[in-house]
Structure 1
Amino acid sequence: MADEIPTVQILDKKNYFQQALVPFPDALPYPPLGPSSLRLRTSVLSLTVNNFTYAALGSLRNWWDVHPLPAGTPAPYNDSARYGRISAWGYAEVLESTVPSIPRGSHLWGYVPLGTLAQDLAVRLHDALPDQVFVTDAYRQHVMPIYNRYFVYAPSSDRRDAIARKEDAVAHDAILRIMHATAFLMADFAFSSSASRVVAPSPGPADADDDANNAWTAKDADLSGATVLVFAPGSKAAVIFASLLARRKGEAEGRPRRIVGVSSEASRAFVQRTGVYDDVLLTSAVDPVAAVAAAAAAKADSGSGSRRRVVVFDFGGRAGVGPRWAAKLAETHPANELLFVGVGSEVLDPSVVSQVAASLRQTPPYPATRASVDDMRRRVMKNLGEEWYWAEEGRSWEQFRDRGIEGLGVSWGEGMQDVIKGWDRLARGEVLPSEGLVYKL
């Protein structure tokens, strides 16, 4: 495999449904590796709706910059104004190393490029967490910290063999681990029932003048007795978030009165099969207000109260259905009884990206916020400590890693040709929420 001609996926930035699998026949042999560096080759990656979000908003969020076009990219793909690379979550194998504590044969989990061409990254070890490293290359320092953080698994760990066997837990690492991080931060902190853990979900500056965090209170975070509506309830992050809320035992632990998925007809069966929602409504409901009132009338448990608060979590409902429902609910719910939380995005057609970006800058006719994973994590680590945070997230993830999501099937592919086919299937809307796409390279 090491002697095969490396290939990478390259996208048209304006029409990221258009892709090319570009070979690099002159890349081998690789040059000598620099100091404090790792030569990495992607070994496992997943494809989800997130990949299209990275492409759609890549210029706005600097996602095109994480893995730039490689040296020697042939024309016309060497035009970085038009073409670029988007990344995925998964594992990379260490082919060569000049970092003594990370030998050849180790694996790193994190944000990996779509391709078999090796990349050289300069890294530094974490001061207190031996299983984490940070990329120090200058061209990546303006991106969010999570994209430069990698988790290290030594050759003696079980990851190498687990990857070779294509175990479900490895697939879950690629498909679900980053989704779990979003859900964990929202459920256990931004909407925590413990006032000492509460942080704001929204973006804000990394300094003492973090007005967004200062303004967010335990009352804002309190979901006890409320009706929670989840749009795109079959998305991986949504299912994990709902699962974390459903585990709460009654109002004293902040359990919502009802956790309601609002789904398309096509996804309804899978959403119900996950077993984490108290009810599932259809997005086609003629009267959203009446549908929500009927769902809220049934008690989640004997301890549920009669609180009228409705909190809408939009993980990427299609065609703006979440905001439309929120606007209708605003007609009958005062501002203190309604909150809209934007979390994710649907697969965006390139032709509507500018419209969606513009809508994010508009003030809606109801109370609203948007979840920022990087800002939530930064606030938690500032308040409670970085080592404590990663230990807590790790413990929570291990509860999901082996079993995954009820009803979610793992579909393994092999090689970059299968990755290209999977990208096309996602672009055409052919991948159901019940299917997880993961690839071994």
Structure 2
Amino acid sequence: MEVHVVSKSKNQVNAVATLDRLEYEQHGLAASSVRVQPLLITLCSNNLSYARGGDLLHGWDTYPVPAGLPKPYNDRKSWGIVPAWGYGVVTESMTQISPGTLLWGAEISESRQRLMTIITATPKKAKIEYPDFMSGIKTWTSLSSLVDAKELKRMSWVSLFRPTWQTGYLLSHHTFTSDTTSRSPIHPLGIDLPWTPADADISAAVVISLSAAGKTARAFAYHMFWRNAAKEGPIWFLQISQTPELLESVPRILGTDIPTKAVRYDLVGGSAELIEGLDPKRIVLVDFGGRAGTLAQLIESIKSHSALGEVQTTIIHVGSEQNVYSADEIKGNCQTMQTVGEVQFNTCGVRDAVIE
């Protein structure tokens, strides 16, 4: 059985180590435990984020490195397993969940108690069960054959988008919301910090999305497009991406009444001229991981423009450019965030606040 491990100090260093499966599985399961074999997992740029935040957000606790791995990969101080979202099939069980049950996502092992609640949510058993499953499972192919192609495709999309789709929904509906009569707007961190109805109001704002072609940004755009331009705003939605052509048809397909435009990174410097005639009362920049220097260039373009320099600007930081960063670079990025006044968004914190 092969295990992919990543260096905790240098995330670009990784290896595949072999674990003796027979030796590993001969150990009996503890009470209230199941053994699960992956059926489908999603690997994307988010997994790099999980590695980068492995220590700060305790992501390395999700799947502790097995002690049975060969040296040096069994050293949990130096090596970790990057978590991934997906589905698995129960092969053994010490619970009421029967072997052959398909499971999604998270669970609440003792090692995961410091993880965010979005990961440690109590698992929900899927309705799909395979009572003849125990006839033998040895390969990915035989696992996949348990699910028809249409269902497997649906599961693939769920695995890819379900975790990040929440970010766009929560940001659009609970942090930037015009419905303040039935619920209070929630601070981007989801904690008890001031976030007034005025902070949440983007009805007269221009909203700018950086790294707009990424899936988290696309989820946010989808929810933006379903707003009522006349009542909820924004008055204009600008998406900045290296591939704006991928975004241009979406508003038309959805039939939104939100005015929108998609532009390339090399046109960021002219954004102020695009915004000038709209007379916005506010500019909201949502950074989903824009290219290095883009945010600073955009801010400079706005602040130096005679008609926009005094317009209130709010900057929400959702993610960083997908690179491997050193500890010093991460520290520098945090200092830059403070300098420009970025407010960090925390999907888990906002989600917890909404539930509460």
Same fold (TM over 0.5): yes
Q: Distance in 1 between matches of 2:268 and 2:229?
A: 31
The SS at the match of 1:318 is coil
The equivalent of 2:292 in structure 1 is 319
Further displaced range: 23-32 or 341-350: 23-32
TM-aligned CA deviation for residue 297 of structure 1: 3.8
The equivalent of 2:101 in structure 1 is 106
Residue correspondence of structure 1 range 16-415 to structure 2 within 5 A: 16-25=11-20, 26-100=22-96, 102-111=97-106, 134-135=107-108, 137-149=109-121, 150-156=123-129, 163-165=147-149, 167-195=152-180, 196-203=182-189, 210=192, 212=193, 215-252=194-231, 254-264=232-242, 267-275=243-251, 278-285=260-267, 287-288=269-270, 291-295=271-275, 297=277, 306-332=279-305, 333=308, 337-351=312-326, 353-362=327-336, 364-382=338-356
Q: Distance in 1 between matches of 2:124 and 2:146?
A: 16
TM-aligned CA deviation for residue 147 of structure 1: 1.4
TM-aligned CA deviation for residue 272 of structure 1: 2.5
User: Aligned letter for 1:283?
Assistant: Y
Q: Structure 1 residues 144, 295: closer, same or farther in 2, change over 3 A? A: same
TM-aligned CA deviation for residue 355 of structure 1: 1.5
Q: Distance in 2 between matches of 1:349 and 1:142?
A: 24
**Length-normalised TM-score, structure 1:** 0.69
Structure 1 residue ranges without an equivalent (≥5): 1-5, 112-133, 299-305, 383-441
Structure 2 residue ranges without an equivalent (≥5): 131-142
TM-aligned CA deviation for residue 204 of structure 1: 5.7
The SS at the match of 1:39 is strand
User: Aligned letter for 1:282?
Assistant: R
The equivalent of 2:136 in structure 1 is none
Q: Distance in 2 between matches of 1:147 and 1:45?
A: 15
Q: Structure 1 residues 197, 242: closer, same or farther in 2, change over 3 A? A: farther
Higher relative contact order (CA 8 A, sep 6+): 1
User: Aligned letter for 1:270?
Assistant: L
- Cα pair 1:228 1:258 within 8 Å, conserved: yes
Q: Distance in 1 between matches of 2:185 and 2:161?
A: 23
The SS at the match of 2:86 is strand
**Length-normalised TM-score, structure 2:** 0.84
The equivalent of 1:401 in structure 2 is none
Q: Structure 1 residues 189, 365: closer, same or farther in 2, change over 3 A? A: same
The SS at the match of 1:8 is strand
The SS at the match of 2:37 is strand
Q: Distance in 2 between matches of 1:286 and 1:181?
A: 28
TM-aligned CA deviation for residue 177 of structure 1: 0.6
How many percent identity over aligned positions?
25
Q: Structure 1 residues 293, 171: closer, same or farther in 2, change over 3 A? A: same
TM-aligned CA deviation for residue 365 of structure 1: 4.9
Aligned length: 332
Q: Structure 1 residues 92, 183: closer, same or farther in 2, change over 3 A? A: same
- Cα pair 2:208 2:238 within 8 Å, conserved: yes
Q: Structure 1 residues 295, 76: closer, same or farther in 2, change over 3 A? A: same
- Cα pair 2:269 2:297 within 8 Å, conserved: no
Pairwise CA RMSD: 2.6
String of CA shifts for 1:408-429, please: whole Å, max 9, x gaps: xxxxxxxxxxxxxxxxxxxxxx
